[in-house]
Amino acid sequence: MADLEPGTRVPDDITFTGPDGPVRLGDLIGEKVLVLYFYPKDETTGCTAEACSFRDLYQDFQDAGADVVGVSRDSAEDHAKFKANHRLPFRLLTDKGGAAAKRMGVKKTFGIIPGRVTFVIDTQGVVRLRFDSQMNAKKHVSDALEMVRSLAKAA
């Protein structure tokens, strides 16, 4: 699938795996703005920095009317350990085999490293921000929060 760029509606039938079973993207959309971030791997340096940045600003995201959900290929067990180790207050979902990432246009870096892309998706399921940077993990968080705040002001 082509990259999901701002102004594009996300396919609501994309499915991830949560700790209690399947989670459809469409079920995450509606009440709040969704910050959906794809990252390469639990407990790696950049991914930990990114997750902890989302954690540190999580209340700001909540106050602005957004929910944060992280996605990687790691198992539910690995996610549970990662959440506990870093006191992450948001959901982490599994994209086994990378099918969801592929459908959303999240490309591998150098053809081998799962991509790092953050989407801000409004309550209608439309992408309002796509930030794609493997190296600048913390900028994903600041850019996403800026977009969430601008959507809250516009509402």
Active-site amino acid positions: 47
Cα 110 from chain centroid?
21
Q: From the DSSP assignment, how many helices (H) and strands (E) are in the chain? A: 6, 7
Name the helix (H) or strand (E) containing 37. Answer: strand 33-38
Spatial distance between the Cα atoms of 85 and 34, rounded to a whole number of angstroms: 24
Side by side, the strands of the sheet bearing 66-72 are 21-24, 15-18, 91-94, 66-72, 33-38, 117-121, 127-132
Spatial distance between the Cα atoms of 97 and 153, rounded to a whole number of angstroms: 38
Spatial distance between the Cα atoms of 100 and 13, rounded to a whole number of angstroms: 10
